[in-house]
Amino acid sequence: MPESKNNTPFTSQASQAPPASNAALWLPYTQMATTPPVPVAIATQGVRIRLADGRELIDGISSWWTACHGYNHPHIRQAVAGQLNVMPHVMFGGLVHEPAAKLAQRLAALLPGDLAHVFFTDSGSVAVEVALKMARQYWMNKGEPSRQRIIHFRHSYHGDTFATMAVCDPEEGMHAQFSASMPQEIMAELPVDEKSQTAFEECLAQHAHEVAAVIIEPLVQGAGGMQMHDAATLAQVAAACQRHGVLLIADEIMTGFGRTGHLFACEEAGVVPDIICLSKALTGGTLALAATVARRHVFAAFLSDDPACALMHGPTFMANPLACAAANASLDLFAQEPRLQQVAMIAEQMEQELAPCRQLAGVQDVRVKGAIGVVEMQGAINLSAYRTQFASRGVWIRPFGQVIYLMPPFVISAADLSVLTTAVVAVVNTLGVNGQAG
């Protein structure tokens, strides 16, 4: 695996004092009444996280799938520092700036087909919110206001805001308790075989008159269970949407920027969605930024003398110049360094080194797609026990539900990746499903 300039150890300056107290913090996805103290991170470098207690952990999940180039890449750091000296932020309402214009042009050039109109936001959930709003208003502007519903798929996850919760699988996600407060969307099965293909076609035929769009996570469904489907399934969904005149939204928040082996997962199936959502690795994990990108025909539906036909959305920090500078620098690295080659080598190594898990008690499946490796257990696991065991082995791996997964930075060395895969095999062998060390 090619070595990266960012695969360097900590320097003596790479530290800072931990906060005096964490008592004021409200943590995500955490029951604050029962959670034991969590580790305090004080520095990052390359693929490592330094903790206040002196430990260093190899990051196996790229800080929620963002740090594709590793931490503190000098090229990104230099770009952000330069932008900070000039203009850290300016409102995007009535003003534009060069970092955003440059980034939009570059994304349009990299994305497949005529995905050429970029609306910036500051998180993945909001990018999906904008896509849903965009799809619904597209039909309003075209004189079909009744087309407001969204079809999504079992195991889907698209965010934690109310509109995005409504297009998540309530059984796989965290949002069932809010069902009474959310719009009722339509959940379908992914068309992975003849029976489900027929069911999906019937679903579209029945509901096309009221559906604005189908939304899908191409090739890999993330937080809904790291389920994977092939390019033929994605192509089937796209073709069905075309036949029934329904927009297709590709949520590439997680899969975009090389994670599945192509720069964008849709490319593997030759699919050009009507709208695509990007975030996570967009800035190389440096700053919050997201984008919703539409094809020309979608954008054209918003062009009118009527102000009501405009897209009425505008996050305060949209197109933040610092974040745009980081994203432009991240795109430089994809152009200058062998990221997709690194992803292919990570995939090959994980295929080999996670394979022994298939023989372990309690394991239901082992699967790899690009730089995503998954060990799925036969039931829900003791998350606290697993996380503690991983940290004790010097790795940062955060399983959920019944899934242990790896999504390392693309710049990880073969030796560090082996530390991660060895830890997964050892801890699964030790804890199994019930989480009790034998």
The rounded distance, in Å, linking the Cα atoms of 41 and 72 is: 14
**Residue 29 is a catalytic residue:** yes
On whether the CB atoms of residues 210 and 245 are closer than 8 A, the answer is no
Backbone angles phi, psi at 213, to 5 degrees: -160, 160
**Residue 280 is a catalytic residue:** yes
Token duo for residue 183: 């719009």
- pLDDT attached to residue 438: 44
Catalytic residue among 71, 157, 386, 405: 157
Of 105, 129, 128, nearest to 118 (Cα)?
105
Query: pLDDT digit of tens for each residue in the chain (438 aa)?
Result: 655 667 666 765 555 555 567 889 999 998 899 888 899 999 999 999 999 999 999 999 999 999 999 999 999 999 999 999 999 999 999 999 999 999 999 999 999 999 999 999 999 999 999 999 999 999 999 999 999 999 999 999 999 999 999 999 987 667 778 888 888 899 999 999 999 999 999 999 999 999 999 999 999 999 999 999 999 999 999 999 999 999 999 999 999 999 999 999 999 999 999 999 999 999 999 999 999 999 999 999 999 999 999 999 999 999 999 999 999 999 999 999 999 999 999 999 999 999 999 999 999 999 999 999 999 999 999 999 999 999 999 999 999 999 999 999 999 999 999 999 999 999 999 999 877 554
Q: In whole angstroms, how far apart are CA 415 and each of 2, 44, 224, 243, 412?
A: 12, 19, 30, 49, 8
**Residue 251 is a catalytic residue:** yes
The residue ranges of DSSP E strands in 137-269, in sequence order, are: 149-153, 186-188, 211-216, 220-221, 227-228, 247-251
Catalytic residue among 71, 122, 280, 369: 280
The rounded distance, in Å, linking the Cα atoms of 355 and 376 is: 12
> What is the SS3 assignment for 276?
strand
Catalytic residue among 122, 169, 251, 274: 251
Token duo for residue 61: 């999940």
Domains in the chain and their CATH numbers? 41-69+339-431 (3.90.1150.10), 76-336 (3.40.640.10)
**Residue 71 is a catalytic residue:** no
- At a CB cut-off of 8 Å and minimum separation 6, what does 178 contact? 162, 165
- At a CB cut-off of 8 Å and minimum separation 6, what does 164 contact? 125, 128, 129, 132, 158
DSSP state of 386: H
Of 376, 386, 372, 135, nearest to 248 (Cα)?
135
- pLDDT attached to residue 23: 84
The amino acid present at 233, given as its one-letter code, is T
Q: Strands 372-377 and 403-406: what pairing?
A: antiparallel
Q: In whole angstroms, how far apart are CA 27 and each of 21, 24, 63, 100?
A: 14, 10, 15, 32
Catalytic residue among 29, 53, 305, 306: 29
Token duo for residue 226: 């790291």
